[in-house]
Amino acid sequence: MIKKFIRLIKKFRKLFYVGMQYFSTKTISDGFINWLIFANAGMLNRGNIYAMKYAVDNLPSTNPVLEIGSFCGLSTNLIGYLLQTSGKKNRIFSCDKWFFEGAEMSRNIGESEISFRQYREFVKANFIRNVEFFSPHNKPYTVEAFSDDFFKLWEKNETVSDVFGRNIQLGGKISFGYIDGNHNYNFVKRDFENLDRYLETGGYVLFDDSSDSDSFGLTRLMKEIKQKINYELVMKNPNYLFKKIT
């Protein structure tokens, strides 16, 4: 009976904490953002928009912005729009293989006749369509690759073809990174370590699904980054935005 009561108390505390985060989250919006979110599929904590705008408004240079994980292009289009409205000329790079956590390509989705392989192609096609429609003048250079492979190409300054059929040379410093790929601790830590090699001093990194109450369990990594002397926490909203200070 006591154990059951303790579990209920812990559950209540968690729900209370999540609710407080929801009501304390800062966000921004306008007509374009509202209509974009209506039409462009994607999972987005509205607090990320506020954090993205802060990073974009305070970019240290015109070096590129990098997004790891693109899904259907919602956050990609938001970053492009925020760059545009802030008058910034930074190019956007992104990478995604469109292989989803827990999805076996050879299996069907639930009891449907749709395979995860078909779902992958559908999502990728929607990314291309959404970006071409909502960001025609600021299309990202999107490389179809897992993040580890993307950073190997970036390190070698390779010239690659993106999903829109354009050739682009990779490499150089990065001013802002948005990490939204595989949410497993080990993957996110590796994405951060790879990004850190190229993130310039004064640059920003935003971690999706990193709030203290999130089920993905990135709290450990956020604590580790807070201990680093070359990074400072800019905000929790509720996800973590850091600035590289040295």
> pLDDT per residue over 202-238, tens digit each?
999 999 999 998 777 799 999 999 999 999 999 999 9
Answer yes or no: is 166 within a domain.
yes
Phi and psi of 124, rounded to 5°?
-60, -45
> pLDDT per residue over 122-175, tens digit each?
999 999 999 999 999 999 999 999 999 999 999 999 999 999 999 999 999 999
Q: What is the CATH number of the domain that holds 216?
A: 3.40.50.150
Say how many domains are in the chain: 1
> pLDDT per residue over 55-88, tens digit each?
999 999 999 999 999 999 999 999 999 999 999 9
> Quick check: 12 pLDDT over 60?
no
Answer yes or no: is 195 within a domain.
yes
Q: What percent of the chain has pLDDT over 70?
A: 91
Q: What percent of the chain has pLDDT over 90?
A: 85
- Strands 174-179, 167-169: parallel, antiparallel or unpaired by DSSP? unpaired
- Strands 167-169, 92-95: parallel, antiparallel or unpaired by DSSP? unpaired
Confidence of residue 7 (pLDDT cuts 50, 70, 90): low
Structural domain that includes position 73: 26-244
